[in-house]
Structure 1
Amino acid sequence: MTVRAVVFDLDGVIIDTEEVWEEVRRGYVLEHGKAFLPDSQSRMMGMSTPEWSTHLSAEVGVPRSPEQVAADVLGRMAERYRADLPLIPGSVDAVRRLAAHFPVALASSSARILIDQVLETAGLTGTFRVTLSTEEVPRGKPAPDVYVAACEQLGFAPEACAAVEDSSNGLRSAGAAGLAVIAVPHGVYPPADDALALASLVIDGLDELTIEVVEKLR
């Protein structure tokens, strides 16, 4: 079965925000007299908004409800995006290049409000046939839900789709859903070896993400 559609992750693939997320959430937690647990950062990468806000509230101990934590942190992230959107070099060109040949979708752990803001600022509104937040499916990454839903809405079986991912949980999510996985490892937050092993292709940068390499995946 050949690849007939491509599903992109957002954070760490199109925008370089993992460090921004960590800075904002660590600062927020510190303001409330708390500190990340040793595995908080790695666990939250790929979590949906309800999942990471519950982690900060229930496990880290921020004295706010998960809903309040989510609203606080998302407000701060939106401010950062409006001030300076950290696009990864080549990401917009890569999306447009593949969208000219394949139907493309977005499967992100970011909240809907942030997805829409990023696409507007980057000039990509309307480029993706489908955009999904893990808020809109039962479980966040590493569960396969968001990738399964993206493929369904595109109208293709997961086996006919490729995913472009950077994080451990994202790679696990796409792999569990049955997509051909392209890994673009983040330099600061590289994926775990077991997650990277799920990739059909590992590339160093988005300039390498061409129609030809996608067509050869299967």
Structure 2
Amino acid sequence: MSKYRAVSHVIFDMDGILLDTEPLYTKAIQNVVGRYGKTFTWEHKSQMMGLQTAESSKFIVKALDLPITWEEYNSIILEEYKITLANPEIIPGAKRLVHHLSKHNIPISVATSSSQDSFELKSAKHKDFFKLFDHIVCGGSDPEVKQGKPAPDIFLVSASRFPDKPNPEKCLVFEDAPNGVQAAVNAGMQVVMCPDENVPSELRKNATMVVNSLDDTPVEAFGLPELIK
């Protein structure tokens, strides 16, 4: 008997899963905190990945003891993002998997902690790609997403917006961040983690499956059409 449950719908995180934005986020944050003589480390990043912008701003100001309010930092970093995050690339393995699922008529969605404005900025040059998804949930600005990851809200909202409203156990989530993995688990969904190489093993253990690239995922284990390489 398989340790995995068959699913009918797939939900993707965006940053670090579909778009190669994580190095750009690191650059933007260091550009800002560097003005105050601070260093943004991997330890900081691992704790804030997947958080909504306001929550991540509160975390940075407190963790790095910045001499400004989180609201001031938030305003500065949003301006920095407009410069740094304007042209991210689609991650190749994600492109193959998304096109494969779309071709086989598997319902797919995006559940990102970004706001609608941030999503528009990052996806502007990839409109055809994002048209493949049934819907996009932008947790940073969506009024139905009451709490950010690791709360389950964003994934439950995303599931509810498919026309047939699948039960959570019928949804498979793709995530890169520990906070996102926990959100999927809290939603009662299986989750495939494709983490940064710096994510330690103890922060991967809650994932249903861990892969190095999305197109390395044996999706047939979840009852989905096999991705032939």
> TM-score scaled by structure 1?
0.84
Q: 1:196 to 1:39 in 2, by over 3 A?
A: closer
| Aligned-pair Cα RMSD in Å | 2.5
Q: For residue 212 of structure 1, what is the amino acid of its counterpart? A: E
Give aligned pairs, total.
214
Q: Distance in 2 between matches of 1:102 and 1:181?
A: 17
* Mapped contact 2:28–2:84 kept (Cα < 8 A): no
Q: Distance in 1 between matches of 2:22 and 2:106?
A: 27
Return 5+ residue gaps in structure 1 as ranges: none
Q: For residue 193 of structure 2, what is the amino acid of its counterpart? A: A
Q: For residue 126 of structure 1, what is the amino acid of its counterpart? A: K
User: Which segment is superposed worse, 1-10 or 131-140?
Assistant: 131-140
* Mapped contact 2:21–2:85 kept (Cα < 8 A): no
C-alpha displacement at 1:94, in angstroms? 1.6
Q: 1:145 to 1:8 in 2, by over 3 A?
A: same
C-alpha displacement at 1:34, in angstroms? 4.0
Residues 166-208 of structure 1: CA deviation (Å, up to 9, x unaligned):
1211111111111111121222x32x43442222222221222
Give the aligned partner of residue 119 of structure 1.
123
Give the aligned partner of residue 53 of structure 1.
57
Q: Distance in 1 between matches of 2:42 and 2:214?
A: 31
Residues 138-176 of structure 1: CA deviation (Å, up to 9, x unaligned):
222222121111112221111110001112111111111
Q: 1:193 to 1:144 in 2, by over 3 A?
A: farther
Aligned with 2:125: secondary structure? Answer: helix
* Mapped contact 1:5–1:104 kept (Cα < 8 A): yes
Q: 1:98 to 1:118 in 2, by over 3 A?
A: farther
C-alpha displacement at 1:64, in angstroms? 4.4
1:44 equivalenced with 2:52 (yes/no): no
Q: For residue 78 of structure 1, what is the amino acid of its counterpart? A: K
Aligned with 1:138: secondary structure? Answer: coil
Q: Distance in 1 between matches of 2:54 and 2:24?
A: 19
Give the aligned partner of residue 183 of structure 1.
193
Q: Distance in 2 between matches of 1:186 and 1:35?
A: 19
Give the aligned partner of residue 193 of structure 1.
201
Q: Distance in 2 between matches of 1:94 and 1:76?
A: 31
Q: 1:42 to 1:186 in 2, by over 3 A?
A: closer
Q: Distance in 2 between matches of 1:128 and 1:44?
A: 26
Residues 1-24 of structure 1: CA deviation (Å, up to 9, x unaligned):
631100001111112222221121
- 2:149 pairs, out of 141, 153, 156, with 141
C-alpha displacement at 1:30, in angstroms? 1.6
C-alpha displacement at 1:76, in angstroms? 2.3
Q: Distance in 2 between matches of 1:134 and 1:95?
A: 21
Q: For residue 108 of structure 2, what is the amino acid of its counterpart? A: V
C-alpha displacement at 1:131, in angstroms? 1.3
